[in-house]
Amino acid sequence: MKRTAPLGARLAAAPHPPYHLVTHPSFQPRLHPEAPVNFSGTVDIAAPRDRVWSFVIDPNQVGQCGPGVESIEVVDETHFKATAKVGIGFISARFVVSLETAEQEAPERSVIKAHGQAPGSAVDATAEMRLSGPPEGPTRMDWTADVTISGTLASVGARMIEGTANKMIGQTFTCIRRQLES
């Protein structure tokens, strides 16, 4: 029986690499795919504006309405942390998210910035909410969110991310309305 050196040793001893990689000049490998997504909407809530404002700026109250939110920790008046489990397609991740109230004009406007990490994935978001309508209600909430997901979760594609996010957004606003309109 003839003995041969292990493959690694044979490749190392070869005078030139046993392969040649050719790529198109425009090829840019992406080690960390990103999926930027923009969301916006309007929700009418049959409640006074001050009551809606108090609810949506309180992390402990509004956090109960977030699908997958496991915990909320208030760090100080403008910073808090949340842990949430998110599943998109066949991929599931537990994010630890740091949130900051970046701007606030009571009882009409608030901007929140967020950065979250999960094994192999990250999320960055900026969300703005504007409340309008008569002080006694109903209150109209116009909102926008710019979200960038990177890493493993981003690899599932923007359409799947948008579909899951829209479902979660709908669940969140249904809960908020239920809490405030009862």
The backbone region for 157, taken as left when phi is positive above 0, alpha when psi lies in -120 to 50, beta otherwise, is: left
Domain contains 25: no
Burial of 182 (0-12, 13-18, 19+ CB in 10 A): exposed
What total of structural domains would you count in the chain?
1
Mean pLDDT of 152-176: 85
* Domain span holding position 55: 33-181
| Residue 42 pLDDT greater than 90, yes or no | yes
Domain contains 162: yes
Domain contains 12: no
Domain contains 85: yes
Domain contains 168: yes
pLDDT 10s digits, 108-123: 999 999 999 999 889 9
- CATH of residue 103's domain is 3.30.530.20
| Residue 8 pLDDT greater than 70, yes or no | no
Burial of 18 (0-12, 13-18, 19+ CB in 10 A): exposed
Question: DSSP state, 135?
Answer: T
Residue 69: pLDDT band (50, 70, 90) is very high
pLDDT for position 21: 40
Identify the bridge partners of residue 83 per DSSP, sorted by sequence position. Answer: 71, 96
Domain contains 16: no
